[in-house]
Structure 1
């Protein structure tokens, strides 16, 4: 691997999709999503070590954006007023043009936020305001994948 093949964390684009409308999330600071395997214990007579078997998975993640993005707060308001669940998809593109690996496009489906920041003010702070929330998702797909570097 050459040094330039390492993927820069800052190189990429993120879009959120709500009710079929796509919004570029240029205000994104960070995004992380992963699946966690759900395991059952496998115990056998005569074995000293407990085994495990994957019986399911859960998609979890977190997002941090500059505070002025309104979408999460608007979905929270709609839920409070109508009962419509806040659900979105996220398309994230890792694309560092200096890497021979190319790009990876990931689609996270049926994201449900754990909550929503409604208002934030801090007269004692010199920091910027951010909106951070955790989420779960039901499915994912890769629309493009990194190439194997040979």
Structure 2
């Protein structure tokens, strides 16, 4: 791999779609979405160890954003007032024009926040940010990174 093919950490786009509204979530500082397989141990006659069988998966994520948007707090307020939970979509695209891999886009579907900060201040801070955890129930990958030269042997 050539050094130029490492993806710049800050060259990304993030969009959040809630209902009919699509937001450029430029307040995001970082986001990580994780796919975790559920597995069951399988006893196998004649072996001293057990096998492992995938039986499902779950999607979890976390993000840090600048504390300067009320969009997610409005979702919490809606849930408190009506009991109606809000599900949304997050689209993340990574693209570094210097890298030969091109761009990758992941769309996380049926996202749901675990909770969040309602109010905050820090008299000694430089700026305000907030952490938020979420789950998602599905995902798609409409764009994938290209294989770098030499990866396929």
TM over 0.5: yes
Task: List runs of 5+ in structure 1 lacking aligned partners.
Answer: none
The 5 A counterparts of 1:63-78 are 63-78=63-78
Question: For residue 137 of structure 2, what is the aligned residue in structure 1?
Answer: 138
Q: 2:100 is matched with which residue? A: 100
Greater than 4 Å deviation, 4+ residue runs: none
> 2:125, 2:111 → 1: CA distance?
32
Q: Matched residue of 1:77: which SS?
A: helix
1:20-99 alignment runs, 5 A limit: 20-99=20-99
Which residue does the alignment assign to 1:9? 9
**Structure 1 partner of 2:127:** 128
> Deviation per CA, 1:5-40, whole angstroms, max 9, x where unpaired?
111111111000000211001111001001100001
Shift of 1:95: 0.7
**What is residue 18 of structure 2 aligned with on the other side?**
18
C-alpha distance in 1 between matches for 2:59 and 2:113: 12
How many angstroms apart in 1 are the aligned matches of 2:100 and 2:41? Answer: 42
Distance (whole Å) between structure 2 residues aligned to residue 84 and residue 131 of structure 1: 24
Return the TM-score normalized by structure 2.
Answer: 0.93
Structure 1 distance, partners of 2:81, 2:125, is: 35
**Cα distance between partner residues in 1 of 2:87 and 2:118:** 17
CA distance in 2, matches of 1:116, 1:84: 17
CA distance in 1, matches of 2:20, 2:140: 17
Which residue is 2:113 aligned to? 113
Using structure 1 for the length normalisation, give the TM-score: 0.95
